[in-house]
Structure 1
Amino acid sequence: MLSCPFCAFENTDSQRFCEQCGQPLQRWRVIDIAGSGVEPPPLAPAANGDRLSYLDADQRYRLIHSSSSIASIEPAATLVLDCQPDAGSPLQPLQQAWLDTPALDPASEPLAAAVPAAAHPYLALQADYFPAIPELHNAWSTSDRTLLLIEDRSHWLSLGVGWSAIDDPFQHIQWLFETTLLWQALAPWQGQATLLTPQRLTLNENSLICLTQIDQGANPSPLPISALGKMWQTLVSNSTASLPPAVQALVDAVANGTLLQINHLQNTLAELAQAYQAPEPDPPAVPWSPPVDNTAESNLEDLRDLAFSDLEAEAGFDAQEIVEDEGSGGIEAPTMVLPMKLAHLDDAGQSHVGQQRHHNEDWFFTQAQLHKVSGPQGTVLRSKGLYILCDGMGGHASGEVASQLAVRTLRDYLTHHWGDQLPDQSVLTEAVVTANQTIYSINQSNATSGVGRMGTTLVMVLVHNLEIAVVHVGDSRLYSYSKRLGLRQLTLDHAVGQREINRGVEPALAYARPDAYQLTQALGPRSKEDLFPSIAFHEITEDTLLLLCSDGLSDNNLLERHVDSHVAGLLSSKANLESGVAQLTDLANEKNGHDNITTILIRIKLQPDMASLTN
């Protein structure tokens, strides 16, 4: 039983917050590193249940009993219960300094002076290698030992068990690739030996390799890559799943020392991963139509599309009267951009669980207000629309909780902070931070970590007359479609592949990485200091269809491959958006179907502002 430090109620060992008072029961795993000289006594709770044992003199960290997981080969971990969880991590200022300056030198950083060197790699690698690196909560040294308090992953599934359970060559290659990334990351911290200890390697809910702790060696020189290859051989030999011959040959080459360059190794793994990844379906054949020799009609139609899109047949005005120029001898393209005004705005949204998921973790919200304003200079249609789409994650019901919380928080915040003009970047940033904090606080109060932390992506569009603001976190996307520009992706995924492209890596190589689609940003898992939402502003100058979607629709370039059959026609006012979004959902279920599918369509139709022209 676990006694609550606030009300002394006896909770079961599995409880993450007290059943009586609701306070968090935050546990941390203790890494006990013996100093030089005499071996210190082992850490253990008091044998007498009536007496409490504490790790520190301030009695913040109470030693508790723990058990080992069946799926893990780690020995039973030493755990403490945080009796002051609201106090936060004493290392937060130093962690923030490291996040702000990844090349920080602990020897010259005053905040690092009192922090043991064994804690440095946890802090240094958090920014680029979370969640592979466990969270470090506190660290200090005594006369005979160094103590680190880290996230407890002793109950996570071990890599060895996962390797045998998932007999998939592509997944195995991805895991090999991930270990090479960690091998490089740990080298400057003398931590490569961590990867040579099987019980240090575990899997999170997304099947990504994570470490239970970091072991630092005494030798400052990097280990030979052959040591990693030998670990791979042991991993494969202890498993019931065999590797394809080409992959096994690569593992043996690394172990035997015949392949020494890690960059060459990573490129080879990336090529093998492409070979064993499930092929994307071929795009449908587009029937070819011969051109029609009707030059005059074609030129006029092109001009109408450019200046007014297809609104002349739908909004009740005659484009011919505007574009003809007496005495010119013909019709020419306008030499200026005509002022436009809003003619109509409509929308539709739909969410579907998909073909392989048991519950839907997506959530969306749409709200639009249209007002006609009439005066001596004519009638103007004013619009104000809020569109939010979130794709939750976290396992069980956590994902859908996170996505609903994000939508509700953003909706409520903008209700009070969106006046007569589009909110600026600072207001939108604060809205996202507020939504993140709502989810993050629940994660903290529930004492969840790593695999248990819920989160969500976000793509949000605010429409204010002919201006839009786009807010984006994660890999849910916003597309736009117009006759002039076609289909365009307006957001860039917050994922490893896109991050590498931003750093100058060729797209083909960046997305050949097995971890290319791993998220680098999400709402909820981490505090606001680690959140960097993308915010952009656009002006609508022509008829435009906006499409917000979760990755259940956007995966495998589905929209790009079916733009003519499923997107282009929806720009017309005659097209029913409800039917259009249903057809997109059916398409995603047919071609993808592996994930939840959520789509929001926004159609913005314009017409020339005749009052502005005459004035």
Structure 2
Amino acid sequence: MENEAATLYCPNENCQALNPLTHKFCQRCSTPLPKIYLWAVVDGLSVGSPGEILADRYLVINQSVVLDTKPGLLPQTPELDDVEVIRAYLRLIPYRLNVPQVYGVLPLTDGHSHQEILLLEQPPLLVDDIQQVYLCSKLITAWRDATSMRQLNWLWQLAHLWEPLLSEGVVSSLLDPDLLRVEGPLVRLLELRFDPETVPELTQLGEFWQQLLSETKPVIAEFVSVISHSLIQGEINSPEQLIAVLDRGLAELGRSQTPTIAIATKTDTGPSRQRNEDACYPPSGTLVSKPPQPTALAIVCDGIGGHEGGNVASNLAIETIQQQVQQLTKVPYDHIDPPMLLADLELAVAVANDKISQRNDGENRQGRQRMGTTLVMALPVAHEMYITHVGDSRAYWITRHGCYQVTLDDDVASREVRLGYAVYREAVQQSASGSLVQALGMSPSTSLHPTSQRFILDEDAVFLLTSDGLSDFDRVEESWETEILPILASEVNLATVADRLVEIANTKNGHDNVTIALVHYQLQYWEPEISVKAVIPDSASVKTADLASRGAGGTVLGSPNQKTQVIPESKPAKTPQLPLQFLVPLILVVAAGSLGYFVMKLRSPSVSIPLLSSPTQQPTPAATLETRSLANLATGWVIQTQREIPLRNNQSLPSGTFLEVIETIPSTRTASGGSEVQLRLCSNKITPTANTNKPLVSYPAAATTPLPPEKTVLIDFSQLKRFGVSVLQSDAPSPCNTITAPPVSNSPGSSSTESNTR
């Protein structure tokens, strides 16, 4: 129970009036009064007595929850040089739907001792009408009442979190039932726990999931049982393999889910601008429904570059991407591979980027004179929503449980947090924090890093796409409950809400153009009568399939750690081919026979290939060879390009180029915060590859020069995935000699040019 005598300070710095906690607006200036509840990381202890005010600011709600009574003031931030655990939270900001973010620290002084308690924002809490605060249910508690679709959705989210949390040393958080909470369709972590010296493995995840079997819905009980057993036995030994199996199960359940989608758009010049540089699809004022329309696509673009610049770029992006996506969605859903579709959406963005960039080059636009645009788009397909974005136009996911920002701005502040350098609330106070680090049209697509995500939808939802004309100053967070939530109760229509949101943007912000798109996803779901069956492919087939698809058109999941691949029957996997000059005829015959048998197995997704390391089988020399792919790239390996890869300074790596991996380096040069690979050229010999699939994007011929042999290059890891490379297996004769490459500095560069602040 909150302290009735406590007061909430108005966040308006020109007001700062005291208000009762029950008020939603300041009684003096009518400014919205945000209630910021925080989770205090106190390791099972109590932060204080309920009703107590700590540090003259934080009202204790219960042993681990406090309320910030002065939301207009910056919280005290931790010293990052001394607190490694905080960096784990920061670097996991791309997963903030599931992982809480750092708000600040609560300083406590007891006599001569001083300590700081970490405060996490947006904990999974429920606040009722009388302001009682409760923790959301544990996953193991809510499990029995969830539909089979939601149960698999929760497991799917845990599978996607395994690799990123493992990389930060906190994967044991996914095995703690007390930390795993659920808020409607979302799995939410209360906090992170550092891993013990013995790092948890997927075997323990299988043991944890086995505890859920007694309450698992009958239609998927056998499916979950097989997955759990396979994890424990090591038959599923990678997150990629696990996600691939779960994807198949969700696709089966998705056939029992019938969606209806409606889209409304609105764009407005605003009160302070002379022209509108924004654009949207469908055109402003349009209402689209699926069915009867075959495709539902929403796009919002916010142009950069002034007259004859921003408006040209935003409209060119809309036109280009709409045409590209129209081709993608002609494929029946049963033949769509989710990771491939995500990658193709990124490639569609690359096409639009290059068209704008080429126009800039043709008009000799340089620096801030270059025209560009942000982009955010939503594509609902069956039981999934695909979101792709570049820049600071945002996507929000609104359910009956809350409003969630699902995109992370491509600006300086977000980049600092992603790299673990600053807490977000501190980063946004720095100069130029809102400057974009990337936007469409500012440079060739080789340096563009669009973010693609997909979400499983198991209940009605509204997705809001918006330019910063509305999202600035937290207007969405202020108004979603009163303006957007009624859509889900059928109390208001989309067009009316779109008009109202534009009005809010113009009256409460008014500094920019405003463009929004509302995507209302409604579903009917019934539990299927036929049980879902689990087919467990081995990890080698999943990784080979993943690698082969990249060569077929750069199809790779855009979000980090989401590298799944289900092989359609019409596109069998292709195994990297070695140059003939390195194989003697006898080896060619043996290798071709073995390769043919393996590819034949991969052609049928219903065939489960036994693990080479099966304990009931005596391993052969071939079975002990290491399976290599981009997923586990290591020093000393050799890769071969499958497409020409453009580089900086008008140079390129031709198709068929062999390169030796020198090292993998965490990137500080890209907004994505991924990694870069230092490579040494071994050969520029072009070797034809058996790749007959036409890529979505045909990059124009450029005046590029192949690099000389033995030169080292530093390439962003996402570029290797986008353009496709083959990884030579450990038993293959290497075309690279053992010449040691000179060191290459991995200090931050200037390749990610910051766009003008809008």
Which of the two has greater helix per residue?
1
Q: TM-score, normalised by structure 1?
A: 0.43
Q: TM-score, normalised by structure 2?
A: 0.35
